Amino acid sequence: MKPEEVKIHHFDLNTSNSWFRELKNHVTLVQLRRQDIVVPNGYKLSDLVLAHQADIIRLAVLAQEGGIYLDTDVYILRPFKHLLTNPRDILLGHEGGDRYGLCNAVILARAGSEFISIWQDSYKTFDEAKWAEHSVLMPKRLQVQHKDLICPLSPPVFYWPFWESWNVQYMHDPIGADDIALLQDNMDAWGGSMYESQLAYHSWGGHAYLRELTPDVVKEKDSRFNLLMRHIAQVPLG
Q: What is the pLDDT of residues 55-69, one digit of tens each?
A: 999 999 999 999 999
pLDDT of residue 210: 82
The model's confidence at residue 41, banded by pLDDT at 50, 70 and 90, is: confident
In the chain the first and final C-alpha atoms are separated, in Å, by: 10
Q: In 77-230, where do the E strands start and end?
A: 90-94, 102-109, 151-153, 200-202
* Average of per-residue pLDDT across 5-12: 94
| Torsion of Cα atoms, 101 then 104 then 110 then 112, to 10° | 80
The answer to whether 10 and 30 have CB atoms below 8 angstroms apart is yes
Q: What is the pLDDT of residues 45-100, one digit of tens each?
A: 988 999 999 999 999 999 999 999 999 999 999 999 999 999 999 999 999 765 68
pLDDT of residue 238: 66
Residues of the chain with pLDDT > 90, as a percent, come to 78
Helices (H) and strands (E) in the chain — how many of each? Answer: 9, 8
Question: Would you state the CATH architecture of domain 7-153?
Answer: Alpha-Beta Complex (3.90)
Q: What is the mean pLDDT of the chain?
A: 93
Spatial separation of the C-alpha atoms in residues 21 and 120, rounded to whole Å: 35
Element (H, E) at 160: none
pLDDT of residue 40: 80
What are the extents of the domains in the chain? 7-153, 165-234
The model's confidence at residue 171, banded by pLDDT at 50, 70 and 90, is: very high
* Average of per-residue pLDDT across 199-204: 94
pLDDT of residue 237: 76
* Average of per-residue pLDDT across 102-109: 98
Q: What is the pTM of this model?
A: 0.94
CA dihedral over 100, 105, 109, 112, signed as positive or negative: positive
Rg of the chain (C-alpha set)? 18
How do strand 28-31 and strand 7-10 relate by DSSP bridges?
A: parallel
Residue type, 177: A
